[in-house]
Amino acid sequence: MERIQVIRGMRDIFPEQARWWRRMESQLAAFLDLYGYGEIRTPLIEQTGLFKRSIGEQTDIVEKEMYTFTDRDGASLTLRPEGTASVIRSYIETSLWQTEPVSRLFYLGPMFRHERPQKGRYRQFSQLGVELIGAAQPAADVEMIDIMVNGMAAIGLIDTSLELNSMGCPLCRPAYREKLITYLEEHAENLCQDCRRRMKTNPLRVLDCKVEGCKQIAGQAPRMLDSLCTECAEHFALVRRGIESIEIPYNLNHRMVRGLDYYSRTTFELLAPGLGSQNAVAGGGRYDGLVEHLGGPSIPAVGFAAGLDRILLRLLETIANPQRQQPVFVVSRGEQAWLSGLGVLRALRSAGISAESDARQGSMKAQMKRADKAGARFVILLGEDEIERGVLTIKDMAAAADSPDKQFEIQTGNVVEELVSRLAADATREAPQ
């Protein structure tokens, strides 16, 4: 019978890496607690119209990458390709602004896009999103950038660089758009086919094209920062001053844009080396028009999303991955010893000590091999002799072979207290001074 394989672009995450996922996600949640952000959990499936309106029907995500299907009742549904639209949909549906004038929300979870799989990019991928809804002031932009940069540093991603730009607003962007179209028309013959099409419908998207020829043309294009109205220029200047005041270095990137009208003013990205051309691990900006665009009142917002798959990939390349340590492993010989060992395991786990045994109950030699593979710090040996005398034999796997503490006996009733003490001493020695 033919084996069924995992879907292309998706993958299984096994226990060793899942531990890193749990560690990273818990650290991020704890970090966001410090800033007063609460977690929101939205459905994985939404009405297709939500993403067409929020992302834009002319984007590659909507045109080529969404997992869309017809439900049994005829409705068009889509696996969420990003999280902001769902957050804003929920925000509007519950009229959250009536009870929370400024809402600080974050989400963690899977997204789905039918992209070409490559290093750090999957068709099911995990994303952190952080949204601040209800504040138009530069302070909100600075807070978001602060969270993005220092949140990544908190989980160990410190070798990063911040890119910054401004998109202007509906007052000053139209004039810039016309300047850009005029410039692009002069270089149309050297643009890729996609950019020739975008040039009329969404010219800002040409600026972030990854094709080398288009990148060179975009590098010489008119800059939005030179066309900002007075209010946008003042807003951006205050954002820069705020970032500088908390000593976050940044680079101005005139090619970093968002192609939809409800995005405005500040845009930003966080880059990390070692990930090839796809080196952006997080990015966001101000989207003051999105709440209104999706049917709510005119309420400003700013946020960012971070690709956790790429971040974890980078962390595993730069941080030593310690071997998993199982503090205690119980090795038993015979049925009665196995039954007694169950009580020992239960007592240890009740005391918060991680412990396991070999469910196959093979020979002592085979069980010792399993204990060694598990990275056991202590092995408890239990046989008929130990049961008769009411003791346990403990083997210290880290002690020198000639050490008097390499193997010793202890009364069964004292095993928890003894191992708690020894493991605490280990933790004290290993703690950074």
Which one of 318, 345, 369 terminates a domain?
318
Domain that holds residue 145: 15-172+228-318
Task: Specify if 1 maps to a domain.
Answer: no
CA distances for 198 relative to 175, 185, 203, 265, 371, angstroms: 17, 11, 5, 21, 61
The identity of residue 316, as a single letter, is L
Instruction: Let me know whether 375 and 279 are in one domain.
Output: no
Residue 150 lies in a domain: yes
- Say whether both 63 and 129 belong to one domain: yes
Q: Is residue 125 included in any domain, yes or no? A: yes
Residues 6 or more apart whose CB falls under 8 angstroms from that of 241 comprise none
Residues 72 and 139 placed together within one structural domain of the fold: yes
- Domain membership flag for residue 221: no
Within a domain: 177: no
Judge whether 332 lies within some domain.
yes
Structure-block tokens of residue 249:
């270095």
Domain boundary among 318, 341, 371: 318
Q: Considering its fold, how many domains does the chain have in total?
A: 2
Q: Do 252 and 376 have their domain in common?
A: no
CA separation, residue 67 to residues 41, 56, 114, 411 (Å): 20, 15, 7, 61
On whether residue 245 sits in a domain, the answer given is yes
- My answer on whether 344 and 269 are in the same domain is no
CA distance 147 to 268: 12
Look up the CATH number of the domain holding residue 75.
3.30.930.10
Residues 290 and 357 in one domain: no
* Residue whose structure tokens are 């080396």: 273
What is d(CA 178, CA 191) in angstroms, rounded to the nearest whole number?
Answer: 18
- Residue 396, domain CATH: 3.40.50.800
Q: The tokens 């239960």 sit on which residue?
A: 346
In this structure, the answer to whether residues 307 and 338 fall within a common structural domain is no
* End position of a domain, from candidates 318, 348, 376: 318
Amino acid identity, residue 410?
I
Residue 63 lies in a domain: yes
Residuewise pLDDT in 10s, the chain (433 residues): 899 999 999 999 998 889 899 999 999 999 999 999 999 999 999 999 999 999 887 777 888 899 999 999 999 999 999 999 999 999 999 999 999 999 999 999 999 999 888 877 899 999 999 999 999 999 999 999 999 999 999 999 988 999 999 999 999 999 999 999 999 889 888 889 888 888 887 888 888 888 888 888 988 999 999 999 999 999 999 999 999 999 999 999 998 887 676 789 999 999 987 665 568 899 999 999 999 999 999 999 999 999 999 899 888 877 655 555 668 999 999 999 999 999 999 999 999 999 999 989 889 999 999 998 888 989 999 999 899 999 999 999 888 888 888 999 999 999 999 888 888 877 676 554 4
Statement to judge: residues 396 and 254 lie in one domain: no
In order of 30, 81, 113, 314, the CA distances from 122 in angstroms are 26, 12, 8, 15
Q: Token digits for 7?
A: 């879907």
Within this chain, do residues 153 and 300 fall inside the same structural domain, yes or no? yes
Same domain, 286 and 138: yes
Report d(CA 314, CA 309) in Å as an integer: 9
Residues 89 and 136 both lie in one domain: yes
